[in-house]
């Protein structure tokens, strides 16, 4: 990509802030600017549901406005590996669950590792955290992986402990 200077365009440094502010104003306030954002980032958008009215409230919960379905749009996007991808291009596939050869739990967080004899075995993230083999232990996502896990019925999910204490 060539710089502005390489293309013969010179903008004084004190004007750059003005140009950026004007561009931001254009993005926020014009239909063309909003269309540009949607196209630039590959957002999918849907209109409001005609069976609903939409209330806009401030941060204190006070009603600011009530909109009809044709007055509101919802943008959706996904960031996959650092790149914007329209959600319509993404499909979900269930992850297979496998039993952990160390503790017996059926989970989606198992990984295939080598035991001390070089034999393949499946071990869950929890058991990998405490594995005596440092190479195997390094494959664990640690406590952070368990914290973000959605399998809340798992014996090792930290949310289970929080539910007990509540």
Mean pLDDT of the chain: 86
The string of pLDDT tens digits covering residues 35-93 is 898 888 878 888 899 999 999 999 999 999 999 999 998 888 888 999 888 888 889 99
Which two tokens mark 112?
């295939």
What is the 3 state secondary structure string of the chain?
CCCCHHHCCCCCHHHHHHHHHHHHHHHHHCHHHHHHHHHHHCCEEEECCCCCCEEEECCCCCEEEEECHHHCEEEECEEECCEEECHHHCCCCCCCCEECCCCCCEECCCEEEECCCCCEEEECHHHHHCCCCHHHHCCCCHHHHHHCCCCCCCCCCHHHHHHHHC
Regarding pTM above 0.85, the answer is no
Mean pLDDT of 111-120: 87
**pLDDT for 25 beyond 90:** yes
Q: Contact, 156 vs 124, CB < 8 A? A: yes
- What CA–CA distance (Å, rounded) separates 111 from 123? 5
Mean pLDDT of 138-158: 82
pLDDT value for 164: 55
């Amino acid at each position: 990509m060539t710089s502005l200077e390489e293309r013969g365009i010179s903008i004084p440094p004190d004007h750059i802030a003005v140009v950026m502010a004007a561009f931001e104003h254009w993005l926020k306030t014009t239909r063309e600017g909003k269309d540009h954002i949607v196209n630039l980032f590959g957002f999918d958008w849907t209109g409001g549901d005609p069976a609903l009215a939409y209330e806009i409230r401030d941060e204190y919960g006070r009603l600011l406005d009530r909109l009809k379905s044709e007055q509101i749009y919802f943008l959706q996007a996904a960031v996959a590996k650092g790149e914007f991808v329209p959600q319509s291009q993404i499909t979900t596939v269930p992850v297979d669950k496998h039993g952990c050869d160390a503790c017996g739990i059926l989970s989606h967080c198992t990984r295939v590792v080598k035991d001390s004899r070089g034999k393949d075995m499946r071990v869950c993230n929890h058991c990998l955290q405490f594995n005596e083999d440092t190479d195997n232990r390094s494959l664990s996502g640690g406590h952070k992986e368990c914290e973000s896990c959605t399998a809340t019925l798992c014996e090792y999910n930290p949310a289970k402990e929080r539910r007990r204490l509540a």
